[in-house]
Structure 1
Amino acid sequence: MKRILPFLLIFYACSFSKKNADNIVYKVGQYFAPDKRVVLYDLTYNNGILKGETSSFLAYQALKDSLGRLDIDYIDSVQVLPIDTNKHAVVSLSVANLRSEGRHSSELVTQALCGTPLLVLKQEGGWLLVQTPDAYIAWVDEGGVTIKNADEMNAWERSEKLIFTNTTGYLFKDSTYSETVSDLVAGDILKLTKKGADFSHAKMPDGRAGVVLNDQVDLVSNWSKEREVNDAELKEVAFSMMGVPYLWGGTSVKGVDCSGFTKTIYFMNGYIIPRDASQQVNEGQLIDEDKNWENLQTGDLLFFGREATDQNPEKVVHVGMWIGDDRFIHSSGKVHISSVNPQDSLYDEYNVNRYLRTKRIIKSHTDGIKPLASMLEHR
């Protein structure tokens, strides 16, 4: 890829005159930041000033190189994010809501669980623009995270941790279990301070301490090594969320949208997959495009939406997980099971008619599929 980039940049640069520097800005953005959900690229060239901000140093450098090849003079007012590389954040609520803009009334676009490390791109008022381990960029209320410097972040990462494996539960103040410190949901990560016979002492990332029942947690170090994605494990997680209400932007057992549901299933089986259905469809191995249901295996992801036409591109809008016996489980209204078999009482004619393709995530090695252990590595 590195060898290809110079050639592409020269091609782009030679395709424009000095009068069209704004086109160079656009083309570089199209190449390096085609998905604005994961790469921030908001740059402009006006009256000899190159300004704006980007989270991609490669895009910034490529743009400068392209303008330089055309001898275009400019004043550089670009801000490359993150602004402060020493500032890190860890989610300190059971579930933190991440929004499209830095205010509570803006759209919920995703969620992050307790213990999730976030790359802090910038801060405005009481809000942080962050990037999640699945690369999603969104705003989070500062009250939902704990800010750490590099040394504090390293200490957090080196600490022994627990992962909450029950669907829901609590961090209790003490072993009387009469007062709670926080609610907990599947996937939350806590710092282990002392292991006991029936319960363990643990801390939230913000330092709040309490005890958690041992049969509801596991050591992250053991849990991540023991994850072997198979039919039974995938079904167990999926079925444990039956009836969970649909929530646009939700990625936790408190509420999930369709892709948040499939993301959660794989997260609790040790894998991070992209956030949205239109991103998940680009991962894994293509299994079917012709409704040959016999080729599908439990865990395969089925994608639905609008087929491409001469006038419109394909649009992926829904995803579910195959569970066998002509059935799939998905979040629409609530998490429930549907069937592709017209003879089944759960037949879902609407989604069958807009079916696009099936992709297999299990044992696939595409770029957007990462082991959960990578989430705990220093970023």
Structure 2
Amino acid sequence: MLYGICNLSIVPLRAKEFDTSEMISQVLFGEHFTIIEKQKNWSKIKLTFDDYEGFIDNKQYVEISEACYHQISDHKQFYSGEILDFITNTKDELTTIPLGSNLPLYNNQKLEINSETFLYEGNVLSEKKPKTDILQIAFTYLNSPFLWGGKTPFGIDCSGFTQMVYKLCGYTLFRDAKQQATQGEVLSFIEESEPGDLAFFDDEEGIISHVGIVLNDYNIIHVHGKVRIDTLDHSGIFNADIQKHTHKLRVIKKMI
């Protein structure tokens, strides 16, 4: 078994092994993974955080040893808490990192990849946070543009948004909305929901295709063109800008 880690800021994870293939997700700095299959130019990988699989360009990651992989996995997880920041190596070279990047083997402002040490002086998130903090983290992404497969404030999709918000609060969600809908506890009525719960929405075929985070006073924060706040009712999401419902409610689930 081979192992790898992302040593660049934001790397596309693609459905197939070529540059024009659909970007199904992104691999952020410091995320480590197993390498399922290594080809000449591409590798099929499985991310350790959520078991998500896809193809990554061989030039956009570095291999790590099995011992290093397990050391990172067993170490307490730390994440960058700034919308955009940077790390420096021993040569004072900068690498930008977005919100939610992993900080492998972080200790006293230092992190390590393959025995190379980096310095990070920004805000660090590491502890499980109370449910009330989910909204504060979610608001950090307000007005971020929609990007299919995106996971950062510079472009994000609906399930990438919910996954990253929960990740920064210390909780693990699957990557896609239909996968996230298999987690948590079903609530019978919208009135039972609390801020921080997840609302799921289905398409015309009944397939769950959208997710958002429940707010106070029957509002929801979700990604529709951008990260925005709309009204949530028994029918779904009502967009006041266009005066119509945009998503049909399927279920609300309590994750924590």
- TM tier relative to shorter chain: 0.7 to 0.9
Deviations 1:294-315 (A, max 9, x none): 22111111111236xxxx5x21
User: CA shift at 1:265, angstroms?
Assistant: 0.9
Deviations 1:49-107 (A, max 9, x none): xxxxxxxxxxxxxxxxxxxxxxxxxxxxxxxxxxxx2x111121222210001111100
User: Which entry has the higher C-alpha Rg, 1 or 2?
Assistant: 1
Deviations 1:309-338 (A, max 9, x none): xxx5x2111111101111000011110100
Q: Which 5+ residue runs of structure 2 have no aligned equivalent? A: none
- 2:63 match: 147
- 2:4 match: 89
CA 1:193–1:335 in 2, change beyond 3 Å: closer, same or farther? Answer: closer
Residue 186 of structure 1 aligns with an amino acid whose one-letter code is: L
Distance of 1:153 and 1:168 partners within structure 2: 26
Aligned pairs for 1:167-186 within 5 A: 167-172=83-88, 181-186=94-99
- 2:197 match: 300
Aligned pairs for 1:77-156 within 5 A: 85=1, 87-133=2-48, 134-156=50-72
CA 1:327–1:143 in 2, change beyond 3 Å: closer, same or farther? Answer: same
Contact 2:197/2:213, CA 8 A, preserved across alignment: yes
User: CA shift at 1:192, angstroms?
Assistant: 5.7
TM normalised by structure 1 equals 0.60
Q: Which of these residues, 351, 354, 378, is aligned with residue 246 of structure 2?
A: 351
Aligned pairs for 1:1-379 within 5 A: 85=1, 87-133=2-48, 134-157=50-73, 162-172=78-88, 181-191=94-104, 195=108, 200-203=109-112, 205=113, 209-214=117-122, 216-218=123-125, 223=126, 226-231=127-132, 233-288=133-188, 292-306=189-203, 314-340=206-232, 345=240, 349-351=244-246, 354-362=248-256
Identity of aligned residues (%): 24
CA 1:173–1:326 in 2, change beyond 3 Å: closer, same or farther? Answer: same
Contact 1:181/1:209, CA 8 A, preserved across alignment: no
Contact 1:339/1:346, CA 8 A, preserved across alignment: no
User: CA shift at 1:135, angstroms?
Assistant: 1.7
User: CA shift at 1:262, angstroms?
Assistant: 0.6
Distance of 1:146 and 1:240 partners within structure 2: 30
CA 1:350–1:160 in 2, change beyond 3 Å: closer, same or farther? Answer: closer
Contact 2:150/2:160, CA 8 A, preserved across alignment: yes
Deviations 1:189-230 (A, max 9, x none): 2346773xxxx3444x3666543225x125xxxx2xx31331
Contact 1:338/1:348, CA 8 A, preserved across alignment: no
SS of 2:135's equivalent?
Answer: helix
Deviations 1:30-64 (A, max 9, x none): xxxxxxxxxxxxxxxxxxxxxxxxxxxxxxxxxxx
Residue 299 of structure 1 aligns with an amino acid whose one-letter code is: G
Query: By percentage of residues, which structure has more helix?
Result: 1
Query: By percentage of residues, which structure has more strand?
Result: 2
SS of 2:250's equivalent?
Answer: strand
Q: Which 5+ residue runs of structure 1 have no aligned equivalent? A: 1-84, 363-379
Contact 2:141/2:153, CA 8 A, preserved across alignment: yes
Residue 211 of structure 1 aligns with an amino acid whose one-letter code is: L
Number of equivalences: 252
Contact 1:340/1:349, CA 8 A, preserved across alignment: no
TM normalised by structure 2 equals 0.86
- RMSD over equivalenced CA pairs, Å: 2.8
Distance of 1:279 and 1:143 partners within structure 2: 30
CA 1:349–1:119 in 2, change beyond 3 Å: closer, same or farther? Answer: same
CA 1:275–1:162 in 2, change beyond 3 Å: closer, same or farther? Answer: closer
CA 1:298–1:193 in 2, change beyond 3 Å: closer, same or farther? Answer: closer
Deviations 1:96-124 (A, max 9, x none): 21000111110000112222221110011
SS of 2:97's equivalent?
Answer: strand
User: CA shift at 1:245, angstroms?
Assistant: 0.8
